[in-house]
Amino acid sequence: MINAVLLASGPFWNVLVPDSTSYLGINACRTPGYYIFLQAFTSIDPRWLVAVQLNLLIATLIAISAACSYVTTSSLVGIATLFLGLAFGEQFGAAFQVLTEATFTAALGIAVAAALVYLRSRRLWSAIVVGVAIAIATAIKASAPVFLISAALLLLLPATHRLLQAAALAGIPVLCLLALMTAGRITHGSWSPTNFMGIALVGHVAYGIRGDERASNPEMSALIDSEIRRYYEKWPAINQLDDYVRASQNDYNEMLYRHILPIVSKYQLKDARSSTPGFSHPSTVSEYNTLLTQVSCSNERNGILMSLAEEAVLRFPGRYIAHVGAHYYGLWSYALIPTKYNEMAALQRQVAAESQQNMEKWSVPQAWQASSARIAALKESAVAVGAHSLIFSDLQASLAARLGTTTAMLIGLLATIAALGMFILPLIPGDIAAPVVVAGFVVPYFAVNSLFQVALTRYTSTGEFVIAAFITLTGFALISRIWSWLKVLSQRGHDLVETA
């Protein structure tokens, strides 16, 4: 059904955005996992990439649903997870995007599915799958090493062959992380797998930049503050969470790319262009990625940005904690996204056509470049596809609208509390341990995102399938407990009647 609605309803193409080009080569801004994945597709019809990513997402949802059935011994829980994942399937739109979201969703989902199997059986193969999936996620996104904590806490469960289990759960991702660190040291001179953290964090905490005595470069900091102050001063009070998150999110790119980074470039010790002799503007993907490594994500640039960010955090630590909390709230508020499949299919076709027109030709692999006839067909198809009225899409959007942000936040609060149960996992009954394990993966991921980046719907959508599993497993645990209590009360009532 998903393939039919999203792919077979009209001509389609992959969607390129400015960030896509950075995944087409090795550079200091990105971990290499998605680049390696893309190598199988850059010389062939881009529809293969879309179809593979889409079916990878479908397979991930099926795997999570099957794991939910296995851990609860109830096929109804698996079916409920499957339909809930479909109902809030914003993530399926990522199949069209040349971005990391689709593959990262798959890695996270497979890790959670295998962790649920491991919770019930402690089988070595399930531990290996967890470790490999976390390793793949780590190669795709810089925030994924946080899953090492989740894997390590699974080792609290009693098991035979504990050393083998530890090697599988934690050893495999640790080896991957060490390999990425070594590669980073070789390619861009830093033990960090990427040098993007400075860019991400300084935009996140830009409100705290000042040209005071704490600043390592007061003149540069004062100039930045004078240019961006007009943005953060108009943000609503932080207790108006929805408005605050939306305002700070909307201003992020403009503050960072229009003001902060250009000013930092002027103050760098060496001229950005002189570090890349032979060209001043890229004309090939290779030149572009060289610029990213030697200029945008150079060690020097990253050091300056990290200093600005650290100073901002230390200058207003209370504000930073509240800001992080607001964006953590923001991630959960997006958890139940009411997107209709026909509208999603239409949007991706329209954006695919626009991206082909707007992006420079050198940044698009030749096999992915669409002809003018293809672009016109995509635009026409977008209108036709969007006009379709699909019963399932209407039901799905209605469900999401009824549940809304408040329900999503209650789920987030419950998941945050449940994640703490990972520390006492061996003491928790199996039916309750299942949602705890799921929360033990998604909560740290959202928390790390909130520490370093603003809340975006695409970050939340990578956890939608896992959130669906948490909802159904929590519902199963509650129903099981209520049913058990009712049986006990019934038996006691029966005993009292017989005694009387």
Calpha distance 110→441 (Å, rounded): 11
- Whether residue 278 is predicted with pLDDT greater than 80 in this model: the reply is no
- Are residues 110 and 80 part of one domain? yes
Domain count, the chain: 2
Domain that holds residue 271: 197-331
pLDDT band at 271 (very low <50, low <70, confident <90, very high): very low
Tokens of 99: 């971005």
Q: Per-residue pLDDT averaged across 321-334, rounded?
A: 94
Residue of 487 and 230 predicted with greater confidence = 230
The pLDDT score that the predictor gives to residue 274 is: 44
Looking at the structure, tell me whether residues 7 and 123 fall in a common domain. yes
> Amino acid identity of 263?
I
226 backbone φψ class: left, alpha, beta (φ>0; ψ -120 to 50): alpha
CA 330 to chain centre: 13
For 108, 127, 390, 456, 469, the CA distances from 113, given in Å and listed in that order, are 9, 11, 30, 25, 9
Same domain membership, residue 429 and residue 312: no
Evaluate if residue 270 carries a pLDDT over 50: no
b/e burial code for range 210-220 (CB count within 10 A of at least 16 → b)? bbeeebebeeb
Over residues 253-270, mean pLDDT = 86
Residues 161 and 259 in one domain: no
Between 134 and 492, name the one with better pLDDT: 134
**0.85 exceeded by the pTM?**
yes
Distance of CA 133 to the CA centre of its chain: 15
Q: Decide if 49 contacts 14 (C-beta within 8 A).
A: yes
Domain stops at, among 305, 331, 357? 331
Burial 151-173 (b: 16+ CB within 10 A, else e): bebbeeeebeeeeebbbbbbbbb
Written as one string, the DSSP assignment of 415-426 is HHHHHGGGGGGG
Average pLDDT, the chain: 90
pLDDT of residue 252: 94
> By the 8 A CB rule, do 101 and 460 touch?
no
Of 462, 339, 464, the residue nearest 34 (C-alpha): 462
What's the Rg (C-alpha) of the chain? 24
Vertex 348, ends 25 and 242: CA angle to 5°? 95
Contact 497, 437 (CB under 8 A): no
Number of other residues whose CB lies within 10 A of the CB of residue 461: 23
Q: Which of 301, 331, 361 is the last residue of a domain?
A: 331
What integer pLDDT is reported at residue 393 of this predicted model? 61
Per residue in 94-143, pLDDT tens? 999 999 999 999 999 999 999 999 999 999 999 999 999 999 999 999 99
> What is d(CA 258, CA 278) in angstroms, rounded to the nearest whole number?
26
The mean pLDDT of 17-21, rounded to a whole number, is: 90
Both 305 and 371 in one domain: the answer is no
- Which DSSP string corresponds to 32-73? SHHHHHHTTTTTS-HHHHHHHHHHHHHHHHHHHHHHHHHHHT
Q: Is 171 in the same domain as 219?
A: no
158, 194, 309, 320, 379 from 312: Cα distances, Å? 44, 22, 5, 8, 45
Residue 394, pLDDT score: 65
3-state helix, strand, coil in the chain (%, to 5): 75, 0, 25
* One domain, residues 146 and 254: no
* pLDDT of res. 176: 96
Q: DSSP labels for 220-275?
A: HHHHHHHHHHHHHTTSPPTTSHHHHHHHHHHHHHIIIIIIIHHHHHHHSSS-TGGG
Residues 310 and 183 in one domain: no
Both 175 and 241 in one domain: the answer is no
**For residue 122, what pLDDT is reported?**
93
Say if residues 60 and 130 touch (Cβ distance below 8 Å).
Answer: no
The predicted pLDDT at position 121 comes to 92
Per-residue HEC secondary structure of 348-382 comes to HHHHHHHHHHHCCHHHCCHHHCCCHHHHHHHHHHH
What pLDDT score does 126 carry? 96
pLDDT of 65-99, one tens digit each? 999 999 999 999 999 999 889 888 888 999 999 99
- CA gap 86, 103 in Å, rounded: 18
The percentage of the chain sitting over the pLDDT mark of 90, rounded to a whole number, equals: 69
So what's the pLDDT on residue 2?
84
277 plus 368 within the same structural domain: no
DSSP-derived 3-state class of residue 211? coil
Q: Domain boundary at 331, 352, 373, which? A: 331
Clarify whether residues 238 and 346 are in a common domain. no
pLDDT of residue 490: 81
Tell me the pLDDT tens digit for each residue of 157-208.
998 888 999 999 999 999 999 999 999 998 888 888 898 889 999 999 999 9
Domain check: are 248 and 170 in the same one?
no
Residue 15 is given by DSSP the state B
Q: How many residues does the chain have?
A: 500
